[in-house]
Amino acid sequence: MSAEQKVVIITGASQGIGAALVRGYRDRNYRVIASSRSIKPSADPDILAVPGDIGKPETAERIVREGLQRFGRIDSLVNNAGVFLSKPFIEFTQEDYDYNMGVNVAGFFHITQRAAAEMLKQGSGHIVSITTSLVSQPMVGLPAALASLTKGGLNAVTQALAMEFSKNGIRVNAVSPGIIKTPMNPPETHAALSTLHPVGRMGEMRDIVDAVLYLESAGFVTGEILHVDGGQNAGRW
């Protein structure tokens, strides 16, 4: 191992965008701490799998402790684990609320606190969260108030932490996707979901990975909400 080899924590890494991020960071020779509830051990010695519910503080504590034991440092954190539920506002249940707040908000808070503490000791780091362009462009046909409530909070805290850590060498950014071809959106929904973008098509996982990796190497970019959404954020269509 090179002393220079960097280490990234990726949450929600078992499938979809998270699994693609693991490959993208490995291609850049990062060592990866990959977490999700169902994550399996990897044959790659540079990938440490830490299973657990990201909404629980003990999972966050384990990710950081075991990651430091194995790799000795934490350079980046990608808050990718997330859930999405579309339904009319007054039909959300207490379980829906707890689930969305647990994964999207508590799942950001616990791991980001612990990773940031290590980054502060190190004097460098990068935190990037995956939000959604529904925050800035909610749609009549896709009611998703809990996505706005939770992911909107992530956009806001991205800017707040970018300021708080601006003198500590830690950058804080977000990627705001449109609707992406992942297991979250089964193939039979793709034709309808394509129409929800000005460009008339859905995004690919690679589009989000490329955006995260751009932010990773963009040393003068912090507090940015980078929209990767086929034009959704720009206006109406």
Ligand X SMILES: NC(=O)c1ccc[n+]([C@@H]2O[C@H](COP(=O)([O-])OP(=O)(O)OC[C@H]3O[C@@H](n4cnc5c(N)ncnc54)[C@H](OP(=O)(O)O)[C@@H]3O)[C@@H](O)[C@H]2O)c1
- Residues contacting residue 37 through CB under 8 Å, at least 6 positions apart: 14, 51, 52, 53
- Considering the rule CB under 6 A, would residue 179 count as an interface residue with ligand X? yes
- Does 73 bind ligand X (CB under 6 A)? Our answer is no
By the 8 A CB rule, do 216 and 126 touch? yes
Query: Cβ contacts of residue 231 below 8 Å, gap of 6+?
Result: 197, 198, 199, 237
Q: Which of 76, 182, 232, 233 binds ligand X (CB under 6 A)?
A: 182
Instruction: Choose between 80 and 233: whose C-beta lies nearer to ligand X.
Output: 80
Site for ligand X in 25-54 (CB under 6 A): 36-39, 53-54
C-alpha to C-alpha distance for 72 and 217, rounded to whole angstroms:
21
**Which residues in the 53-72 window bind ligand X by CB under 6 A?**
53-55
Among 19, 12, 2, 13, which residue's Cα sits nearest to residue 71? 2
The stretch near ligand X (CB under 6 A) out of 70-78, 87-95, 162-170, 174-182 is 174-182
Nearer CB in complex with ligand X: 125/177: 177
Rounded CA-CA distance 231/200 in Å is 10
Shortest distance, position 207 Cβ to ligand X, whole Å: 11
Q: Which of 225, 234, 226 is nearest to 198 (CA)?
A: 234
Q: Is 76 in the site for ligand X (CB under 6 A)?
A: no
Task: List interacting residues with ligand X (CB under 6 A).
Answer: 12-18, 36-39, 53-55, 80-84, 103, 130, 132, 177, 179-180, 182-185
